Copies of this chain bind each other. A is one copy, B any other.
Amino acid sequence: MRQSHLFTKTRKEAPSDETSKNAQLLIRAGYVYKEMAGVYSYLPLGLRVLENIKQIIREEIHREGGQEMVMTALQEKELWEQTDRWDDSVVDIWFKTELKNGTELGLGITHEEPLTRIMTSYISSYRDLPQYAYQFQNKFRNETRAKSGIMRGREFLMKDLYDFSKNEAEHNEFYERIRGAYKRIFERVGIGDSTYVTFASGGIFSEFSEEFQTVSDAGEDLIYVDEEKGVALNKEVYTDAVIEKLGLDKSALVEKKSIEVGNIFHLGTKFSEPLGLQYTDEAGNKVPVYMGSYGLGPTRLMGTLVEVLADEKGIVWPESVAPFRVHLVGLNLDDAEIRDYAEGIYSALTTRGVTVLYDDRDVRPGEKFADSDLIGIPYRVVVSRKTKSEGIFEVVERATGEVHSLSEEELYQKYIPEAEE
């Protein structure tokens, strides 16, 4: 894409009420726009990153048999009353609204209830189980404070996956697979090393749930990490009894601030019992379906990547989620010959399937380089009079600052080998 056509521009300042690093950088670089506290629009660059993140999640969830669907924001009071999660004294983050006739509605905070109800139309026999359904969908949560940028929104995107299993053993088997899928997802987006499976408090059906926590000073959580074993405990379960039970050594646990980037949860029959989701087993008995839920917020993950990977010059995207692979910076473009040459390189790269943001704007080189650092595309390639006369391209890796001098052929063959959409 030509940068001169992109409707967003970089900005010197983020809104003065924006205190989080992730939103400050994303706003300044033109990825998101702040509508109000905790509510952000995703501009073309931001949507590209978000879609790349979603695609990685989708691939890993599909691999485990998840079926994608999409539920609604508008929610019926009667449904949530059946599980006692409607009243504001029980769940205090509802946004509520109403129909013309006065019927009260809520905006979905999560989707266990509606999906369990849907499944009562489709599950009746053991032959119908197990089933795995997930969605990417906006959640609405009426947070009193929303100061963590896109990491804690009042309206935000969530991937929520649910399993419907015959029994605990079948559920546990899927739970293990999703733990693995989540690990792969965090590896692929570039924060595998700093993300820990973290024990947290469970529910009626299990002593613990597990969270995926990414170490960051921007985090709202406090965890205790055993780096050698690669596990951690959330503060809420950091007791001598739990440490002993998990076979950990208190002296090896280091306190760190962290961001919860995902969680996996045993639900048991907490929702299937009140909502009447039963099946007939092999012996002819009616049995409640055994469930689990698996959350992962693509918008929060995007914010986390900014918090964890950015440097003093701006955002640093991993290749797997970057809005473009190459930032082609054209200099001396007022010279028609150089412009033609630069256009040719742009065209050659895109023809080879490389995603390119081509800075063809009429601004000074220093501004182009500063914008390029701020936007954070993995490979910057300069095309200029010098490049043309010497036939050598300077490629700078955004993450490391490493500079490589390549011929045109090397640029295509060696450096940017991976064809992408």
Contacts and interface: CB of A to CB of B under 8 A. Distances in A.
A99 B138 CA distance: 17
B7 A40 contact: no
Contacts of A44: 67-69, 133
A36 B114 CA distance: 11
A404 B356 CA distance: 46
Copies in the complex: 2
A306 B104 CA distance: 31
A68 B8 CA distance: 12
Contact of A35 (B8, B30, B72): B72
Contacts of A8: 122
Interface in A87-116: 95-100, 105, 107, 114
Question: Could you say which interface size class chain A belongs to?
Answer: 35 or more
A250 interface: no
Given A47-B70, A97-B95, A131-B7, A114 B76 contact: no
Interface string A123-143: 100001001010000101010
A171 interface: no
A11 interface: yes
A96 to B, nearest CB: 6
A119 interface: yes
A41 interface: yes
Nearest to A128: B7
Given A7-B67, A8-B122, 11 more contacts: A7-B122, A33-B118, A33-B121, A35-B74, A35-B75, A35-B114, A36-B76, A43-B118, A44-B133, A99-B142, A107-B107
7 contacts: A6-B67, A7-B164, A41-B70, A41-B71, A47-B70, A73-B155, A100-B144
